[in-house]
Amino acid sequence: DGGITQSPKYLFRKEGQNVTLSCEQNLNHDAMYWYRQDPGQGLRLIYYSQIVNDFQKGDIAEGYSVSREKKESFPLTVTSAQKNPTAFYLCASSIDQGKAFFGQGTRLTVV
Partner 1 sequence: GIQVEQSPPDLILQEGANSTLRCNFSDSVNNLQWFHQNPWGQLINLFYIPSGTKQNGRLSATTVATERYSLLYISSSQTTDSGVYFCAVGPNNDMRFGAGTRLTVKP
Binding-site ranges for partner 1 (CB under 8 A):
31, 33, 35, 37, 41-45, 48, 50, 56, 58-59, 88, 90, 92, 94, 96-102, 104-105
Q: How far is the CB of 55 from partner 1 (least distance, A)?
A: 11
Query: Residue 3 or residue 18: which is nearer to partner 1 going by CB?
Result: 3
Shortest distance (Å) from residue 33 CB to partner 1: 7
CB of 79 to partner 1, least distance (A): 22
Q: Decide: residue 75, CB within 10 A, 0-12 exposed, 13-18 middle, 19+ buried.
A: middle
Give the contacts of 10 (CB within 8 A, at least 6 positions apart).
106, 107, 109
CA angle 40, 111, 67 (to 5 degrees): 75
**With respect to partner 1, which residue has the nearer C-beta, 17 or 38?**
38
Answer yes or no: are the C-beta atoms of 33 and 48 closer than 8 Å.
yes
What's the closest the beta carbon of residue 80 comes to partner 1, in angstroms? 26
Residue among 21 and 90 whose Cβ is closer to partner 1: 90
Q: Residue 72 is which amino acid?
A: E
